[in-house]
Chain A
Amino acid sequence: MDDIDLKKLNDALIREIASEFGLDFIPQEFDIVPAGKMLEILAYRLPVNYSHWSFGRDYEMERTKHEHGYSVPYEVVFNSDPARAYLMETNPLPIQVLVMAHVYAHNDFMKNNRHFKITRRDMISSASEAAIRFRRYEEDYGRESVEKLIDAGMSIEWNIDPDELIRPETEAEARERLYGWSGALVAEGGFDDVLPVKKKSKSREEKLELRRKTPPEPTMDILKYVIENSPVLSEEWQKDILSTIRSQALYFLPYRRTKIMNEGWATYWHQKLMNRLFAEKFLSAEEHGYYNLYNSRVKAHNPRAINPYLLGSALFQSIEMRWNKGRFGPQYEACSDAREKENWDLHLNKGLDKIKEVRRTHMDWFFVDEFLDEEVVEDLQLYIYQEIDKGDHLDLEVRETDWRKLKRLLVQSLSNWGVPRVLVMDGNYKNSSQLYLKHEFEGLPLDEQYCRKTLEHLHSLWGRPVYLETRKADGDGAGDKLIYFIDTEGVQGVTL
């Protein structure tokens, strides 16, 4: 990319138009990087991160995809201050403009979405420092032990608690809160509505019990609990590695929880911005045609997954339309006349305000739950497929297109950022430092093989026996409790 191109890539223009539409940004910077570096950023999640074979595996996957021409306009943008975006130098100019428009919308989302607002904005430098420390650990303690620890830490990296972003709490603080002493501790930032209701003072027995108990109340932040309480993790470097994994997971949690919204928002806006640029003749017809081609790739159907760019932008468009025409509320819902509904238009023009409000408050789980309707499901032809055994091969067959069932399952898959809720119940089980975990059953069982392997990792971190209470795969009602138990002999399953 030469200077003339760089000048043409005048991001001030895009920023100006985006501001006119009412988007609101953190200062934005763009780095233009070669393909190899781009693929590395995608695989390592950050521009510079520590070494691990799983990143290497992902790198190879990205490279294969790239070499086989699954070319999409590559772009990554980080929630940092200033926001940092990486563009691939091989993107042709109209695509680079598209990507910059897309990035500005991400930027607006990160600045304004409540789940992003609360994350740290120095992760890029933090990760690159961690990379240096980890390399030193490899030299000092051996590559294998570092790798094993990262393996184990990553196996529970998503078993964290998003409340930790709002208000980190030590065990002592949690105890105080549960004693009922913590009236003074009011969270800053107006999140009182999402915090647990403060409980009344406890009885003497309850307080004694509370003093003894660890954790004082069940916690879903397994990783934090292990870092702070493991009987065998004594060395600082071990805690540093696990803490780094945890802080990166906390940093990426909002990305995970708003994937559909975030990409949908960016796609919705890059389309608007590009059309404006074309209308104002900043883009030639040829360039615009080129953009259209790539834009259709961005929004392409994926037969084996839901494309968040497609679903997210469709939902925002649907919300905008509905709030422009007033197609919401009890009156509209109650209307049973199909024709009347079809022509329903109160000329409210509240669409733009509504989507901005939604981008501020929601995450995917609520977003899909609240706004996915029959029209969008049918429009996008969303479905559920299953692998059907055909003797010598498996057919992937469309099995469910009913929008209510599909929506229910999709919402379920998005709850708790797609991770089963597993809580630490007791860190001193049987009064002998054994770890007791409980899977909160919400309709789907745990995958047994993954569960066993994860327990092996957890056992290597905890050093003492670990229990996991869940339910049997075929148990649909109450009962059928299944407890996995792992000690140095390996994993055993016990049905109670």
Chain B
Amino acid sequence: MAVLKPDFDSSPRGPTDAARHREKIKEAIKRDLPDIISDEAIITHSGDRIVRVPVRGIKSYRFIHRHSDGAQGGFGSGESEEGTVIGRRPKPGDGQPGRPGEQPGEDYLETEIELAELVGMMLEDIGLPNLRQKEVQETVVSKGWKQDSIEKHGVAPRLDKKRSIKEAIKRTEILVQNLMLNSGMDEDECRTALDAAQGDFGNALRLLRTAKNVSLPILGTGRPADPSGIFLESSDLRFRTIVEDTEYQSNAVVIAMMDVSGSMGTMKKYLARSFYFWMISFLRVIYKRVEIRFIAHTTEARLVDELEFLHRGESGGTSCHSAYDLATALIDTEYPTSKWNVYPFHFSDGEDWDVDRTVKSLEKMLERGVANFGYGELRTEHSSSVLMDTYRKRLGLEESNFENLPYFSGLRGQSPVLGVIIRNKADIYPALRIFLRSGKPGKAGKAMVLT
């Protein structure tokens, strides 16, 4: 018989090496973060919180052939004829110009990762692994009313019937015990007597003693014994008290403003959109509740929904003040800075028809005590921009440089303003890092406080 018992080294290495493989995937994702965050497939991903990201560089590389026309394929078998579609798969690097994955020969594996994990990795990469909710200001929000305590006095509507009955039962039981002790009669007789005396201890005891002496059944007043045998007295009554229920919440609202005038091309819009997507994802880590409102503007500003914000282009000129005015009105009516951490962001190509008025409107908005105002100027080679320069002079912004990306920030927190010039996709990640790193407290002392 040659069927043997196993004699292998039983220490399993599969799971350990599989863990190492996953570790490598994570390393690769981290290395590719700048590419991943500008991946349109991720940011247009709606609904569930799991995203697919491309992972490069962890395949088993060796010399292999490639079919000369570049189309991948292979052999197969089974019922078919020419033209039969035997399967389909998602396109790598979905339809986005210039994505590395679209270059011929570029090769990567796709893996699934939770968006939250990805954001966590980015925060870690940015050097902010310890973002905690407690570090931002919390606001008190009413949730309605809640029960606070139970009292012996109160008004009828707040009578707690259940608790009152409970008290009565408790007291009745004590009376019965005492009657048994004092009269020497058994429990049934005591209850009947108490019942006949309608809950009065003295009368019940007297009844019992009389009955004992004459050895007569306790018939009481002839009224049938109440099976419940419970007598409610005013001392048994319990009332509820209520207080206003509040909660400490950390709420943030992003007021996303974007210039949708003719001069903003698809690429510029895409840059703005990428930026917003990640900014919101980050804020969701920090705040319990993040709202986002979209304002599209040309010479006039309108509140729009996300779809329209990101996809509709209009022609016409640009007056940024209209957007700021609308944002200020929104803050006043819906998002008072006493309850909300307000993050207005504005993307524009920097062409503005009425710079003076725009600066004034901006100042007015800043006076409301917003947490941080971010301004992203999307520049192409030929654009003539006036806005960033104006902001720099008028608001006293200081120029700095981060990873070759120039940015402008308010001096020592005097104004919670941060401006970045974005030229292409590669700038998105550094821009996000700038915005997240610069946790300058605003006037109200709230902003992202970063460790």
Contacts and interface: CB of A to CB of B under 8 A. Distances in A.
Contact of B64 (A28, A393, A420): A420
A31 B20 contact: no
A495 B14 CA distance: 44
A478 interface: no
Contacts of B75: 305-306, 382-385, 406, 409-410, 413
A105 interface: no
Given A55-B17, A396-B73, A474-B68, 7 more contacts: A12-B1, A54-B60, A57-B18, A60-B14, A384-B76, A388-B71, A450-B63
Contacts of A57: 17-18, 21
Interface residues of A, number: 92
B12, B63, B66, B80: which has the most chain A beta carbons within 10 Å? B63
B84 interface: yes
A226 to B, nearest CB: 14
Nearest to A451: B63
Contacts of A248: none
Nearest to B10: A37
- The 5 tightest CB contacts between A and B, nearest first, are A56-B17, A301-B78, A453-B61, A386-B73, A59-B14
B81 A304 contact: no
Given A56-B18, A393-B89, A393-B91, A398 B6 contact: no
Contact of A449 (B6, B16, B89, B106): B106
A12 B86 CA distance: 44
A51 B13 CA distance: 7
Given A303-B76, A310-B77, A447 B66 contact: yes
B144 interface: no
B63 A385 contact: no
B88 A394 contact: yes
B85 A395 contact: yes
A241 interface: no
| Interface of chain B, main secondary structure | loop
A301 B77 contact: yes
B72 A397 contact: no
Contacts of A422: 63
B449 to A, nearest CB: 37
Interface in A19-72: 27-33, 36-37, 39-40, 43-44, 47-48, 51-57, 59-60, 63
Contacts of B47: none
B162 interface: no
A303, A310, A409, A448: which has the most chain B beta carbons within 10 Å? A303
Interface in B1-50: 1-10, 12-21, 23-24
Interface of A: 6, 9-12, 27-33, 36-37, 39-40, 43-44, 47-48, 51-57, 59-60, 63, 82, 128, 131, 154-159, 301-307, 310-311, 380-401, 406, 409-410, 413, 419-420, 422, 439, 444-451, 453-454, 457, 473-474, 476
B6 A37 contact: yes
B208 to A, nearest CB: 76
B87 interface: yes
Contacts of B71: 386-388
Given A384-B75, A385-B76, A444 B17 contact: no
A445 B95 contact: no
Contacts of A28: 2
21 contacts: A6-B1, A10-B1, A11-B1, A12-B1, A31-B5, A32-B4, A53-B23, A128-B8, A128-B9, A156-B63, A303-B78, A305-B76, A385-B73, A393-B89, A394-B88, A394-B91, A401-B80, A419-B62, A447-B66, A447-B107, A450-B59
A60 B21 contact: yes
Contact of B13 (A40, A54, A301): A40
A245 to B, nearest CB: 12
Contacts of A395: 85, 87-88
Contacts of A383: 75-77, 80, 82
A390 B10 CA distance: 49
Interface of B: 1-10, 12-21, 23-24, 57-68, 70-91, 94-95, 104-107
B18 A60 contact: yes
Nearest to B90: A393
B2 A48 contact: no
Contacts of A29: 2-4
A85 to B, nearest CB: 9
Given A306-B76, A386-B72, A54 B21 contact: yes
A9 B82 contact: no
A391 B61 CA distance: 29
A69 B60 CA distance: 26
A419 B63 contact: yes
Nearest to A50: B13
A36 B12 contact: yes
Contacts of B86: 303-304, 385, 396-398
B3 A37 contact: no
B60 to A, nearest CB: 5
A394 B61 contact: no
B138 to A, nearest CB: 43
Nearest to B84: A398
